[in-house]
Amino acid sequence: MRIMGIDPGTVITGIGIIEIRNDRISAIDIDCINLNKKLPIPERLKIIYEVCSEKMLKHKPDEFAIETAFYHKNIQSTLKLGQARGVALIAAVNSKLNISEYSPREIKKSVTGSGASSKEQVQFMIKSILSLKENPKFIDSSDALAVALCHYFSGGAGIQNGLKKTPKSKNSWGKFVEQNPDKILARK
């Protein structure tokens, strides 16, 4: 199974694609779309759509996971984030992928055990979980891989051509570990 994770943004959009084969998780694409701030927003959105579509065509993911929009202090930033999410979602719908979304806290908790983790802590865990030799060049790429891993760890299956909002779980992290021993990686 292949899962494409997206950390949306109108300046940098992180892209991470993981593959799960025989209970082994590996990163098959770690990338980001680094856009020029001087480009008009419609041009940036077009590029996000095109790159996402190209990655989907090239890697043929089975599932698509994206970070939900969250409120910034600046409403304009929030609106632009929503637009970036929108074009990535349209690319996924056009590729007939199963789509799920996760909040930043859900993503952090799924890879670090704490929903209040820093981006650096998430990046450290991504490197460890995926046995990467070095950190991805952009932290947004690590975040995108975290979105994909969150989807896998949650057991999300998506809804064909729809959007699945994962239910809030009242289970503890310990309960998750207890119920999913196959998803816990042993340190060497």
Q: Residues with catalytic annotation?
A: 7, 67, 140
Structure tokens at 161: 């051509």
Question: CA–CA separation, 105 vs 116, rounded Å?
Answer: 7
Nearest residue to 119 (alpha-carbon basis) of 100, 132, 138, 103: 138
Question: CA–CA separation, 106 vs 89, rounded Å?
Answer: 19
The per-residue DSSP string of 29-64 comes to EEEEEE--TTS-HHHHHHHHHHHHHHHHHHH--SEE
List, in order, residues 6 or more apart from 40 with CB less than 8 Å away.
none
Structure tokens at 6: 């997206």
List, in order, residues 6 or more apart from 83 with CB less than 8 Å away.
10, 41, 45
Q: Indicate the burial class of 107 (C-beta count within 10 angstroms; 0-12, 13-18, 19 or more).
A: buried
